[in-house]
Structure 1
Amino acid sequence: MPVLWRSLSSGKDRGLSQPPFAQQPGQTTYPPYQQPGQPPQYQPQYGPPQYTPAPMMPQQGPGFGWGPGGPGWGQQPPKKKSKAPIFVLLGFVVLAVIGIGAWALSQSSAEPHSSPRYTPSPTRTQPTEQPTGQPTNSPSEKPSAATVAARNKLYSVGRMATVNCKEPRVRPTNTRNAAAYWAALKPCLDKSWAPLVTKAGYTFKSPRMTYWSGSTITNPCGGGVINVPFFCSANNMLYMKVDVFVKTYNEYPDAESKAYARMWYSRSIAHEYGHSVQYMTGILQAASQMRYDASDYAGQLRMTRRMELQANCFAGVFLAANKSSYPINGMMLYVWRKWVVTAGDDPEEGDHGSKASQARFMGKSFNTGNPATCNTFAAPAKNVS
């Protein structure tokens, strides 16, 4: 059975042009108001307007946690000199006063509403979950993990149709607005992926989503310091970290930096949703098994890259299908091409893929809008560096 792991940014990026708050090689990043070993400074007090909490009912057993690498993993445009540092500092003071911190808010459009509830797994044991569905035309004999990952029927469903998704008009100037921004995109992702997952012969189940700030969040996939959004399969939940979105958006006043933040974090929710699509189609479980079976660390890391590159590629599929209505043009298209799709690890060193690999998969899927572009598991090792 596969070993569980959380694929977050390793911090070895690594010669990239990074935001000032991004972690540097050999360092661990903590929010400026949260130091190692300290308890959260405040508790959840609010969520996005018109969204009420949904019950959090984790499946029994542990799950897989996946993250996009966050701002520390990506590039950001060179910053113009301004008085922004003072603004950011004052912003942190105000945010601390109004109660930003470790908080969680669940949102679901299809389930009854109640207060969030977390049931952490006490230990990292071997997973027991199976794919949420099997292709209706699959043989009775269970396919191998390699077959599920590399020959999945999701690759043959064709282009994603647009659902005319528009970028949310709210701007992520505070945590409430950041949560509202992502909450507005979630229905677009549901409508976009449901037909493709169903056409592939799997059962579509929309992931739930919660919002949080700080350095830790209780979840069934494990613990420890977390600095980025992530997906947990144990409860099919997207954990969207709002404070990193706010910080990136508010850091500098120029239009390029703000467009970068919106484009990066639009990709971020689409990436985490991509991990949920992997889970629904059995790819996530298959990759976990193959990673566990890998004979060395290099093989394990390469399997992780295949998983993360595919999630980014799936994000590109969604953004491609809706680029006209969003719209992704002008400054948004400029920062996508210059900063988002060109971000990456040093070749063969990171867990999310090199710049060349990002361009090969996410860059291409942004043009094709087709999941067939995203078969990272059939690609030769040199193409998933």
Structure 2
Amino acid sequence: MESPDDPGDRPAWAPPSEQHREQRSTVWITVIVFALFMALMLVAAVLVAGGLKESKAGAVQTRQPTVSPSSTAVTSVTPPTSQADVPTRKYETAANPLVAPGVTMPKVTCELPKLRGTKEQLEAFYRALIPCLERAWHPALTQVGEPRIPVSVNADDVGNTACGPPPPPGEASGFYCSDGTTIFVPLPRQLEDGGPYLLDQLFLLAHEYGHHVQEQSGILSKHDVLYGEAGGDQPKVLELSRRLELQADCFSAMFLANAAGRGSIGAGMISQLKQSTFEDSDTHGSAKSAALWQKRGLTAKDTSACNTFAAPANEVS
């Protein structure tokens, strides 16, 4: 992308004879005009090359969501336009600045429509909830210089995603794909057992958005590296999965604690959440661990309360 160097060498010029004095003036004018033209062309070439370099750098740093035509796209606040001001992710888990002491979440007010059972009504609910999640998490991400990446929500019953086939309905009501930064909440899964239910939807979407927070901060990418380094060692792989999922649980509870009692999320939601029961899971944690990290999220003073990757193994069993 760099312009070829122009050494500026010119052939030596000898003064003309006396009888060609008039022609010499014409030659001088031609040389000067040509030199000016070449200088302008060189400047233009440098500017074009610089523009291409910045454009390619911007394409790498700004990740846009991949959304199918039928999905619901919910875009976050527009990232900074100056490339010098665009934050970069810190690829760490336990040492990630997002979960360092002192990183706080503001109180937020969520005004949400009534939760209904059609795809259009469910999508309207998500469209209102995602910006509220952003208002809670963006200040924390900005505080530690992490980027803010747009996220999309897809309520279709998809058979495949950019991350591969979805998990079975019995294992997950929703799931997050970092390739395309999309939260999938298939409608049939939300209508099981007579749903959708408000608390379930709030906790589910806040949990999946917690995975998006992990993606924005670099926690998820570092987790994937550690997963690869585990080399198929099942105990290590499962422990990494539990640390990731329990942190998303903690993030979800922390959000609800800062949103409850305002707008459409009543204070009674916290009491209901505390009464929730859990099932043991090799990938998402035991009932005891799930209850522990939910409690820590609900009582958290800052995001360090959710640093599952720094916790001892018996707390992420």
TM-score (norm 1): 0.57
Bigger mean CA offset, 309-318 vs 368-377: 368-377
Q: In structure 2, do the counterparts of structure 1 residues 149 and 224 end up closer, same or farther at CA, with 3 Å as the change threshold?
A: closer
2:66–2:181 Cα contact (<8 Å) kept: no
CA contact 2:72–2:123 (8 Å) conserved in 1: no
8 A Cα contact 2:181 2:212, kept in partner? yes
Whole-angstrom distance in 2 between the partners of 1:203 and 1:360: 29
> One-letter code of the match for 1:285?
S
Q: 1:24-173 residue pairs with structure 2 within 5 A?
A: 57=66, 104-109=70-75, 133-134=88-89, 148-156=92-100, 157-166=102-111, 168-173=112-117
Q: 1:247 to 1:134 in 2, by over 3 A?
A: closer
Q: Which residue of 1 is the match for residue 165 of structure 2? A: 223
| Distance in 1 separating the partners of 2:69 and 2:278 | 29
- 8 Å contact 2:74–2:130 — kept in the other structure? no
Quote the Cα distance in structure 2 between the aligned partners of 1:310 and 1:352: 10
Please name the residue that 1:40 is paired with. Answer: none
The answer to whether structure 1 residue 280 and structure 2 residue 212 are counterparts is: no
The number of equivalent residue pairs is 240
User: Match of 2:191, SS?
Assistant: helix
* Displacement of 1:109: 4.0
Whether the 8 Å CA contact 1:345–1:354 is kept in 2: the answer is: yes
| Higher Cα Rg, which structure | 2
- Alignment partners' CA distance in 2, 1:178 and 1:288: 31
Alignment partner of 1:327 out of 262, 265, 271: 265
CA distance in 2: counterparts of 1:367 and 1:301, whole angstroms? 27
TM-score if structure 2 supplies the norm length?
0.68
**Mean Cα deviation higher: 300-309 or 204-213:** 204-213
Give aligned-pair identity as a percent. Answer: 27
Higher helix share: 2
Partners of 1:103 and 1:352 lie apart in 2 by 32
1:320-339, Cα deviation, whole Å (9 max, x unpaired): 11112143433x33431212
- Are 1:246 and 2:191 counterparts? yes
2:278 to 343, 359, 371: 343
Q: State the distance in 1 between where 2:166 and 2:192 align.
A: 21
Any stretches of 5+ residues in structure 1 without a counterpart?
1-54, 59-101, 113-131, 136-144, 252-257
Structure 2 stretches of 5 or more lacking a match? 1-63, 79-86
**CA root-mean-square deviation:** 2.6
Question: Is residue 271 from structure 1 mapped to residue 207 from structure 2 by the alignment?
Answer: yes
